[in-house]
Structure 1
Amino acid sequence: MKTIGLTGGIASGKSMVARVLQEMGAVLLSADKIGHQVIEPGKTAYYDLIDNFGKEILNADGTINRKELGGIVFKDPQKLKLLNQLTHPPIMQEIKLKLAQIEQEQPEAIVVMEIPLLYETRMEKLFDQVWVVWVDRETQIKRLMARDAIDRSDAISRIDSQMPLDEKARRADLVIDNCGSIEETIAKATRYFNNI
C-alpha cells in the first residue's frame, strides 16, 4: 500500500484534485468526512463540543450546526484551538484505523487522504508522500468569496486561520499549481499519479 496525504488551503482546489485521483483508481479518504462523523450525536466529541461551546451550536434535530460553530471559531483563535484539541484526537484515531483496514484488505492500494490541516495537526508522518494543491493568495481569496458567498474580510480571516499555502508548498514532496485552468490541473494530477 502507498499513502499520499493531500492538502492545501481552503478553496485551493484540493477536493477537485482528490476526485481526479479517485477516478484514476486511488482509494480516497476525507479527514473532513471523518471529522463530521466524530461529532455525530452519541460520539464523545459531540458532548465535548456542547460542553465547551454551548447548546447554541445545535440544530433543531440535535446535530451540530457546523456553520454556527465555524462562525464562532474562525473569529477567535483560542476557540479554534479548543475545537481542534477536542476533535483532532478522535479524527487521528479513526484515520489510523481506516488506513490499517485498507492495508489489510487492499495491500496494493494507493490511498489518498484529503486533509486540509495536515501540517497543522502534524499528520505528515502518517504518509509516504505529501502533495500540496497550491494557488496564490489573491486567487484563494477570490475563490473562497465566490464559493462561500462571503465578503473579503471573512475570507481573509478563514485563510489566515490556516498555515500559509506557501509554507505548505515548501514542506511538500510534490506541489500541484492550481492557478491555471481546471484542465491543466487535471493533467498535472494525472501525470503525477501515473508516476507513483
Structure 2
Amino acid sequence: MSSPSPFPAAPRRLGVTGSIGAGKSTVTALLRARGLTVLDADEQAREATREPEVLARIGAAFPGVVRGGVLDRAALAAQVFGDADRLATLNAIVHPRVRARMLALEAAAAARGEAWVVQDVPLLFEGGLERQMDGVLVVDAPLETRVARVAARSGLTREEVLARDARQMPGEEKRRRATVVLDNGGSLEALEVQLDAALARLGVTGR
C-alpha cells in the first residue's frame, strides 16, 4: 500500500476568456464572489514587468520605454502594436515569468485545499493554453455592445476598438472552442443564471 503524497493535488483549472469588451471582468468578479480563486494573467504580467531583471531586459530590447526605473507602458505598446516580431520579443521576456507566477499562485491554492482555480487569460486560445484547462468559459456579447463598452471606458474611437478586436481570434472561433459560452449581451441577472448553470455542469466548486 503506497503512502499518501506529501504534496497537495493540483487544482483543476477553469479558463476564462473572451473578446475585447465582452465583460470578462464581470464574470471573474462573479466567480470570486462564489469563492473561487481567480488568477489574472494580465495582473501577473504587470507584476512581472516590475521585477528588476525583467525590466532590464525590456529596457535593453526596447530603448526608451524604461524611464527612471519605471516601465512606460504606453511607449512600449506603441513599439509592439502591429509588429509581430517585436511583440514576440516582448512575450519571450515576459511570458516565462508570468507562467512561473501563475504556477506559484496555483500551488498556494492547492496548499489551501482548493479543488479549482480560475485562470483569467485574455489570449488563452491564441497562446494554445486551452489544452492545459479542464474547462473554458468564453464570455461573449454582440459586437456593437462590446465596441460601446470599450469606447466608454477607454476613450478609444470605434475604429481603434475594431482594430484591436481584429487582432484577436474571431469570436466565432472562440465560441466553437469553448466548453461553455456565456452571453453577456443582456442583464447581470441573466449572466449570473448562465454562470451558475455552467459551474454546475462542470462540477466547479469554490472554497
- Give the TM-score normalised by structure 2: 0.83
Contact 2:55 2:66 (C-alpha < 8 Å) held by counterparts: no
Question: 1:12-27, aligned counterparts within 5 Å?
Answer: 12-27=22-37
Report the number of matched residues. Answer: 192
Give 1:162 deviation, angstroms: 1.4
Q: Distance in 2 between matches of 1:91 and 1:41?
A: 11
Contact 1:3 1:112 (C-alpha < 8 Å) held by counterparts: yes
Q: Distance in 1 between matches of 2:81 and 2:143?
A: 18
Pair 1:170–1:8, CA change in 2 (3 A): same
Structure 1, unmatched stretches of 5+, are none
Pair 1:71–1:153, CA change in 2 (3 A): farther
Q: Distance in 2 between matches of 1:146 and 1:73?
A: 24
In structure 1, the residue matched to 2:57 is: 48
Contact 1:41 1:63 (C-alpha < 8 Å) held by counterparts: no
Q: Does 1:87 align with 2:94?
A: yes
Q: Distance in 2 between matches of 1:138 and 1:78?
A: 31
Aligned residue type for 1:117? L
Q: Does 1:182 align with 2:191?
A: no
Give 1:158 deviation, angstroms: 1.4
Contact 1:2 1:110 (C-alpha < 8 Å) held by counterparts: yes
Pairwise CA RMSD: 1.9
Q: Distance in 1 between matches of 2:122 and 2:31?
A: 16
Q: Does 1:107 align with 2:117?
A: no
In structure 1, the residue matched to 2:153 is: 147
SS at match of 2:70: coil
Q: Does 1:29 align with 2:35?
A: no
Deviates more, 1:182-191 or 1:163-172: 182-191
In structure 2, the residue matched to 1:136 is: 142
Contact 1:74 1:161 (C-alpha < 8 Å) held by counterparts: no
In structure 1, the residue matched to 2:5 is: none
Deviation by residue 1:104-155 (Cα, 9 ceiling, x = unmatched): x133432111110111111112221111101232322222112210112211
SS at match of 1:7: strand
Percent of pairs identical after alignment?
31
SS at match of 1:188: helix
Larger radius of gyration between Structure 1 and Structure 2: 2
Structure 2 residue corresponding to 1:77, chosen from 84, 94, 100: 84
Q: Does 1:168 align with 2:167?
A: no
